[in-house]
Structure 1
């Protein structure tokens, strides 16, 4: 689905063609060709003049100001609602304005858009501007977090409790008690989101017990910490079901993980894993084969 490459720059025409849209102005782009995602362009001189001060935060998240250049912004306005409902994959691009030298070399003043990655809306809130051109206006701020490789943020060794006989039922209960993105609460912190993702990854790896949940072969190797190496895979992309549920992830060997993304039978694999994971019977206590 996603043909863009991280850090590469694209023209607006490329973005519009991807979703089949004719929008020439909006920073939120959608179209019938890719109904499961929305394109967001952040930054640029026009946005700053209109009072949009968005960008990347130190924790890796991204703050994005919604649409509406005058008065209070409405989170239910159609373009904003695509983010407010928190259901779509967000293809995030930062706006690159050409300097005079670049414009001369290219023969035009067209902006370029740098692909930052696939994000999702973690939460949103309304803020009141107290100074500047938008003073007195209420703006909608969307908090975006990277979603394409969320589990890669956590080392396998850090995710696995080094303890024999751990109850998966207890871990499952802890996951259910941890706030998730789609619950009816507007504000969810990056820390809460990452903690839930860490717990889900732990759950998937312990459930697999050192065996790939697709090919059913043992993990290809064991790490120095004594952990079987498996990768956690999203069975459904976040626009379909969300990445933070135990039933939506599978622990796979690297080969099966790549095939599940790029193989010609990836749809068959997705449906197979969906059925298999839903029917897994979890024992209360598990003897971990490799953990010491």
Structure 2
């Protein structure tokens, strides 16, 4: 099976890494050569950590890198693909535009998957003429480490497509869970209100950042506090997901906290921008990523 991944950012390069390490030939597609170069550099560094921990050999690292080919032209990158996994920015208009292009550029029997964390699969499928072959494949970050994949069926997604993607996920040594197409699906429908409530707790002056995260880590056995997790996910991504859920459910409980809105407006996105609820120097960012692969 030939795989194409759209987007070389955090999720895209992680998905490409995972497929390639599992023995699949992968085309990694992005409009920016710089993004592709950064993505491949990230994959190489993450593989180096695995070699250092003796989880893979140096030969396996090279085989993984050799299995990935990069493209800046979408049509060239997807024309022979059996499965395309879109992992672009969590923006509905962008995703609809990409899927319109994928519908024209791919083979008729190619499955089109999206790594969206909240946007309707049914809405995305509606811009194609193969809604039975459109499905959600929501990986967790960091993709090479996290086992869960949410498999989201759109209204017209076929049993055959669902079965194919469930089995493929298992071949990646992942644990796929099938869910239906509602805003936020399962993971973010539960997670994002918790993160938002943690931000509200900070906004209302109940406790500080460290105190809130410590209560959830030590009291609820969470491996990472909700504010630290929000920084790791990206505050802009958290805001986008909450906005999708708020719009989809028309329920005020999903309304983003004003503090989150203002932080995103100020360019404080968390780890990727260097500042969120915590301050991240380049050195500390590197340590955090390294710790995820330990």
Query: Which structure carries more helix by proportion?
Result: 2
Q: TM-score, normalised by structure 1?
A: 0.29
Higher relative contact order (Cα pairs below 8 Å, separated by 6+ residues): 1
Q: TM-score, normalised by structure 2?
A: 0.29
Structure number with larger C-alpha Rg: 1
